[in-house]
């Protein structure tokens, strides 16, 4: 799956976040490190989300 992320340089390093998915955010000393960290954060979130949703029923509704 592809995620569009934003990268912002600051005096502390780099911040990265995904506007389309609140909660996906990270940082790093370099742009490469920040991107690596956001990838790990997204992967970890997806693992936990899938574990939590094991007994949930998903229904799509049209509005």
* pTM (2 d.p.): 0.76
pLDDT for 34 equals 97
Please state, in angstroms and rounded to a whole number, the distance separating the CA atoms of residues 45 and 50. 9
| Contact (CB, 8 A) for 7 and 15 | yes
- Answer whether residue 49 shows pLDDT above 90: no
Q: Domains of the chain: which residue ranges?
A: 6-54
């Amino acid at each position: 799956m592809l995620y569009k992320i934003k990268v912002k340089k600051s005096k502390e390093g780099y911040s990265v976040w995904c506007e389309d998915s609140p909660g996906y955010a990270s940082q790093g000393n370099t742009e490469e490190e920040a991107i690596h960290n956001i990838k790990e954060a997204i992967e970890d979130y997806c693992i936990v989300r899938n574990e939590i949703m094991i007994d949930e029923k998903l229904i799509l509704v049209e509005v």
